[in-house]
Amino acid sequence: MNPITIQGFKAYDLRGRIPDELNEDVAYRIGRAYAEFVKPQRVIVGRDIRLSSELLGKALEQGLLDSGVDVYDIGLCGTEVVYFATFAREMDGGIMVTASHNPPDYNGMKFVREGSRPISGDNGLQDIRRIAEQGEFTMPSRVGERFAVDIMPEYIEHLLTYVDRPKLKPLKVVVHAGNGGAGLIIDRLEQYLPFKFIKVHHEPDGTFPNGVPNPMLIENHAAPVEALRKHGADCAISWDGDYDRCFLFDEKGGFIEGYYIVGLLAAAFLQRNPAAGSCTTRASPGTRSTSCSAWVARPCSRSRATRSSRPRCATWTACTVAR
């Protein structure tokens, strides 16, 4: 293949505008380059609800297949589901097609290797970029096979292990999916929880008719807060597009900064598993960070306890502290 320049590689993922920066040719090359660098035999692939994700996912998978890699397609899902499936099924890697909370004309990818260890700029992401740009790929001895996998029942069962259901109170909770993918998981969890869910912008819609699913944007706070006050709910939760981050509102509609939730979850999980380590949350002007030591028998699906100073969601914290 002819050499090209690929824009959009960031410190921890790939994100680019469709189709100028990211298209099916680029996705195919990335599949080939990922296989060339990681040298996997079996890889999980998932995608978010963006309109471009299905075609990009197919091109990515073809690149993996043409490299001799067996692809296990888990379909429409969130980023954490790819991480879970990679770890739980003992795969050699996983790729999520998503641009998270970016506008609808963007897409991207997030990469992990065995054990759901993230591939970032300092441990391989730039190598994948270089190989994809050069377009020189090794000829495999075989073409890979593609398998469709329904991981959701296993993932739901896993999520429920984090809570003691008999102790849960029958709360009224506003759930704000932002027309991203979180609504799909909420619907499957609903039957197992004693909560009454008030669903806002619940249906997945890759055009994002109510704005990009970014809970950090002030303009996106109005819908969940209005629903909370209208229904007298106990709290509200908003997710981003690939639901690997969420943020909460209290019973009065006040936005709860992520570092407070980190502290609450850290205390809860360390109480259940003191051997997991320690976690210190600092919240002062100009300093918002969490430092954790949380390594037990199994590795976390995130390789670092502190990756940046921005608030983190409950999912990330639970994984970091519990594992």
- Output the CA torsion 159→152→24→38 (10° steps): 60
Q: Domain 163-254: give its CATH superfamily.
A: Alpha-D-Glucose-1,6-Bisphosphate, subunit A, domain 3 (3.40.120.10)
**What pLDDT does residue 282 have?**
42
Question: For the ranges 66-70, 115-119, 215-219, 281-285, which has the lowest average pLDDT?
Answer: 281-285
In this predicted model, what pLDDT tens digit does every residue of 272-310 receive, in sequence order? 888 876 544 444 343 334 444 433 323 333 333 333 333
Going by DSSP bridges, is the β-strand pair 246-249/235-239 parallel, antiparallel, or unpaired?
A: antiparallel
pTM: 0.85
Helix (H, G, I), strand (E, B) or coil at 128: helix
Q: How far is CA 26 from the centre of its chain?
A: 21
Residues with a known catalytic role: 100
CA pseudo-torsion sign 138, 84, 290, 276: negative
43 to 24, 96, 158, 168, 320: CA distances (angstroms): 19, 11, 20, 37, 23
Q: Name the architecture of domain 14-151.
A: 3-Layer(aba) Sandwich (3.40)
| C-alpha to C-alpha distance for 283 and 19, rounded to whole angstroms | 41
Q: What confidence score (pLDDT) does residue 322 get? A: 36
Q: Which residue has the tokens 């320690």?
A: 278
Cα(233)–Cα(169) distance, rounded to whole angstroms? 13
- Sketch the domain layout of the chain as residue ranges: 14-151, 163-254, 257-323
Measured between alpha carbons, how far is 62 from 82 in angstroms, rounded to an integer?
18
Measured CA angle at 300 (ends 297, 305), to 5 deg: 120
Residue predicted with more confidence, 282 or 218: 218
Q: pLDDT value at position 268?
A: 87
CB 210 within 8 A of CB 179: yes
Reported as a single tens digit per residue, the pLDDT across 57-93 is 999 999 999 999 999 999 999 999 999 999 999 999 9
Instruction: Round the average pLDDT of the chain to a whole number and report it.
Output: 88
In this predicted model, what pLDDT tens digit does every residue of 162-212 receive, in sequence order? 999 999 999 999 999 999 999 999 999 999 999 999 999 999 999 999 999
Give alpha helix (H) positions in the chain. Answer: 24-38, 53-65, 79-88, 125-134, 152-160, 182-189, 222-231, 258-272, 314-322
Asked whether this chain's domains 14-151 and 163-254 adopt the same fold, the reply is: yes
